[in-house]
Amino acid sequence: MIDVEMLRPTADEMLSGLSAGEAMRKRLLFRAEAIHSLPEIADEMLGGLTVNPALRHRILVKAHRHSAALEPSRPAPVRRLNPAFKRLTPAAAMAAVLVLMIGLGAFYGSEAPAFPVPGATQDMDIRAAGTQPGESGAPQFRPLLAGEGANPPLIGVNGRYYRMLNSPAPVPSALIDSVITDVTVFSEEPSLMSKVGIVSNIVPVGANVYSIRDISSKTLCAAEVEGVMRLFQRVSYASMGALENEFFDDTLNISGMVAALELSGVGVITDDVDANDLIFLLSENAIYTGGELSESGQALTIYLQNGLSLQLLVQDDVLGGCGTWVCPEFFSEFEAALARAS
């Protein structure tokens, strides 16, 4: 530790030639008055500021983008020709090119493969390419989240809550990955609100909770219910949504995996580029406002490339999943994508 008394002689020697004239006195007085005025200035500048989850999220997003901007860009890896191709004879090379051309011709000469809409109540095929513009026959609201009321079928994993989905049933075994944990408490009471432990009101004690292949366990999980493997999506419960330091894409981490988006009452986007761009826009711009949307007559249904579907409730420019997220840009861009296709 520095002894302040030992520094006094040195300070006296260094400042011995310093004279405090009138200009110095005024400067010091001005500085002192400015310091005394700081509380009033701060109150005036920050008077309309409200400390809430939205403000916290904005600060974290700004900090994340600033740190990302400072990171040096990495050059793209150099793709090298496989040595096996170098050894191809001219005849073999021509044969390979001919096979490739025939294959491409066959692909482009056929229709793009269709994939089903899980739980659809109307005869509608969504194609793997192209965007369907909104028409008078826009898709109707079809609830994908199972149950209703204050205690829908849930699994709670240390403060993260997952709600059972109506479809698919069962979840294809090929999509089931490793065991995350197992249920330790079964309760039909509001004690599900415990932030510690593995609790459920639908999955029995001792049953395994599984992750879904290639998807974060913060987004989806699966468990057996009455002998059938069911899918559970991350949601809010009792106003408990995103945990500290979680962003939108932590609770819905599906970027690059989306095949189509359906906004009930508006239209369907089946161009996977547009669909993934819209999800990326949400992950970058959605502002967390806490709480939850318990009831709504509109929803955004997200069809993944692996055949699973997720759903967010919609009310005005708010999306409700794991907490509520405000993002007016998403809805304007969704309309723009539909307009480009019309």
Q: Are residues 135 and 261 in the same domain?
A: yes
Structural domain includes residue 103: no
**165 contacts: CB under 8 Å, gap ≥ 6:** 144, 145, 146, 230, 231, 232, 233, 309, 310, 311
Within a domain: 336: yes
**Where does the chain have alpha helices with state H?**
4-15, 22-46, 53-70, 83-86, 90-108, 248-251, 272-285, 328-341
Residues 137 and 258 in one domain: yes
Q: Is residue 308 part of a domain?
A: yes
Distance CA(195)–CA(192), nearest Å, equals: 8
Q: How many domains does the chain have?
A: 2
> What one-character DSSP code corresponds to residue 189?
S
| Residues 68-119 pLDDT 10s | 555 554 443 433 344 443 444 444 444 443 434 444 344 333 333 334 443 3
The answer to whether residue 262 is domain-embedded is yes
Residue 34 lies inside a defined structural domain of this protein: no
Positions of the chain with pLDDT under 70: 1-5, 11, 14-136, 189-191, 193, 294
Domain for residue 50, yes or no?
Answer: no
0.85 exceeded by pTM: no
| Residue 22 phi, psi (nearest 5) | -65, -40
Domain range for 200: 154-235
What is the percent of the chain where pLDDT is above 90?
48
Q: Which residues contact 88 (CB under 8 A, 6 or more apart)?
A: 96
Are 177 and 133 within one domain? Answer: no
The reply to whether 283 and 230 lie within a common domain is no
**Is the omega angle on the peptide bond into residue 75 within 30 degrees of 0, that is, cis?**
no
